[in-house]
Amino acid sequence: MSGKKYDYLLETLNAAQRQAVASSAGPILVLSGAGSGKTRVLTYRIAYLIERGGIRADNILAVTFTNKAAQEMQERLSRLVPYGASRFNYHDGLWVGTFHSICARILRLHADRLGFSRQFSIYDSEDQLGLIRQIVAELNVPTDKLSPGAIHHRISRAKNGLQTASQFAEASGDFRDEIIARVYALYQQRLRENNAMDFDDLLIYPLELFRQHTEILANYTQRFRHILVDEFQDTNRTQYLFLRALAARDRNVFAVGDDDQSIYRWRGAEVRNILDFEQDFPDCKVFRLEQNYRSTRNILEAAHSVIVKNHQRLPKKLWTEREAGEPVALLEAENEFHEAQIILDKITEEISHHNGGTSSRSFRDFAILYRTNAQSRVIEDTLRRAGIPYVIVGGLRFYERKEVKDVLAYMRLAANPADAVSLRRIINYPLRGIGETTIKKLEEFARVNNLTLLKALGGVGEIPTIKAGSRDKVLAFYNFIDRYASLKNQLSLLEWANALVDATGIVRLLKSENALERVENINEVLRSIHEYAGQFRDATIEGYLERVSLITDIDRWDEKSNAVTLMTLHSAKGLEFPIIFISGLEEGLFPLIRTGDVDSDLEEERRLFYVGTTRAKEKLFLSYAATRSRFTGNAKGLTYNNNLPSRFLAELDQRFVQRESVRRPRAFETHEAEGGKYFGHEQAMPDYENESQENEIQIGKMVKHPQFGLGEILAVDGKGENLKLTIAFEKVGTKKILVQYGNLQIL
């Protein structure tokens, strides 16, 4: 490559990017903010090392977090360096890949040193869980007390913390831990016997290999003279130690990441890895990529005003040469149905407004983000009814999610006993000891006697090759389905559905696995049944299932089509759209705070909010519902909870926000339904401009807060929309409350 070409490459970079790319050797930390061109910097750094640094391609290791990112990097490099794309795929060439693929490549070469064959298998999550189920059965572990899924989760967490089975056993604090320790030990033994590794092993065994065989580590530290890492903030402890081991000799680590976008602590990522980089490498050079090429100034300023509230972050602030753009819009809805309608109205308004002028909008320009998957159903239904195409990224459509399909399969079988597909799906879920051999014998009996599969279950006593114990389990399942097939005509639709779901035991199983979001998805099914029952006087399960089938059947849009995109905030990482909606910004939903380290949880939730806001290129809409219905778990159906707006909305710098209170249109007239009112809630939106209430606010007054309870006003600050109170609550201590969001009752 000529010097002229080299100069051209650097000239295409901004000043901060150029400094990072052309920096001398040694540890380097590049704090790359959202939309600042981190992939560009990584690829140009590799090109620079090869072209101007004289570094051979096979002396470079580049680690990414997704195969897509690795592929994109290879394609860019093939255009930047003079070798051609295949050069980067050769064994002796540049290594580019995910942590798991790089580690697997190393293990394929040296697995025999650890007692494995080089042809070892890699077990995916289903393989792992299946093996644990076998071990649990062998050890007679009571699954109603400790499910295989919960055990699998604990074992994986232990491995992420580099805790061996014996170390886990030594640290066991109770009977449950002792059982898990026994399963863990046997699980690792069986993996070895099967010449197999799971995903966690792929990261752990290279460290073990390096520890046991220092000459192998020396070979790799000599080979990989430069190590580049993408999304460094998402590394876990094992990955960090792997990188540090490989970089021990030359210490040429080029780490690119953004601590403000670290959102995967729940799966083992440690934001401390990037926060402490300068301590681990005191001589490191730090570059900040703060010029954003994606978003307008208003969006960036609004996002920054929230993220700076985090204490565990490195100082930085994004800026852009783009126009200020429109203020961030805050949409105040009455309930989740109203919220979905408002979002729909904004989409149609944007399309009709722009398509009449010089620029145009397409459905693909819009993305709707939410904190939990369960929130998507109402949005999906609203878009579907309006004929708006949509796709879901990072998750299945609501009615296609496993737990939803499992619950619906029970309902389908009770409604239609000839539905063998639904029967096969649920006959052994949750586990009830009916194995594949037994099922095949039942299917053969059904064929020979011209019976439905369910009828064959009822005649299991006539199949001599099925043992008595298996016959009892088959009959118990048959009687269960038969009972609810009869009850559906005796109970109201909601009572019947609620009793059936409870009797299946699926919710109890998911709770034991701490799969709370999946439990919420099942509650969302029951809530949708309540909604359906309220719309039709003679509502039946058959009618509901037909409605669900129609939603699923016509929903054939893929992510490449011209469609609105729906996804969780976690799935949105790395993507961008002209217009972003973030829905459900309510306390308890977003931020979603779990038990444990509340401060760390809150900071991660704030980072998640930051990730969501910085996906927007041109416009950002934030919405919350004053009330959101919750399924009560009984025949009464739904309750309506008053919501506090998310604290993130109060943290926004109001200079960059425009509030839109959208009153309920006539389409949201309240309908009466069994168990109470639904759809349009009768409670009016809070009137934040009520001057008479403002006049009542005085120091010493007692107030009641829907979440914090009773309190006394200690201080009053500001006026109108900026009126803020300092309140001493009896139960939770002193809090500062912005009146416009507080839902306070003056006593």
Active site residues: 38-39, 230-231, 261, 615
Fill in the DSSP letter of residue 646.
Answer: P
Q: Residue 253 phi/psi, 5° resolution? A: -105, 125
Order of strands across the sheet with 328-333? Answer: 390-392, 564-568, 366-370, 577-582, 616-625, 328-333, 657-661
Which residues lie closer than 8 Å to 666 by C-beta, 6 or more apart? none
CA dihedral 109, 112, 115, 121 (to 10 degrees): 50
Of 640, 606, 693, nearest to 311 by C-alpha is 606
Helices marked H in 562-674 — which ranges?
A: 598-613, 647-651
> ω before 591 within 30° of 0 (cis)?
yes
Residue 657 tokens, joined: 């926000």
Which residues are 704's β-sheet partners? 710, 745
| Paired sense of beta strands 366-370 and 564-568, if any | parallel
Reference 361, options 618, 614, 567; nearest CA is: 618
In three-state form (DSSP H/G/I as H, E/B as E, the rest C), the secondary structure along 520-579 is: HHHHHHHHHHHHHHHHCCCCCHHHHHHHHHHHHHHCCCCCCCCCEEEEECCCCCCCCEEE
State the residue for tokens 């002792």.
Answer: 178
Instruction: Please give the DSSP secondary-structure letter assigned to residue 248.
Output: T
Exposure of 127 by Cβ count < 10 A (0-12 exposed, 13-18 middle, 19+ buried)? middle
Tell me which residue of 205, 241, 230, 223 sits closest to 96, measured CA to CA.
Answer: 230
Q: Are strands 577-582 and 616-625 parallel, antiparallel or unpaired?
A: parallel
Cα–Cα distance between 583 and 625 in angstroms, integer? 9
CA-based nearest residue to 193, from 124, 134, 121, 129: 121
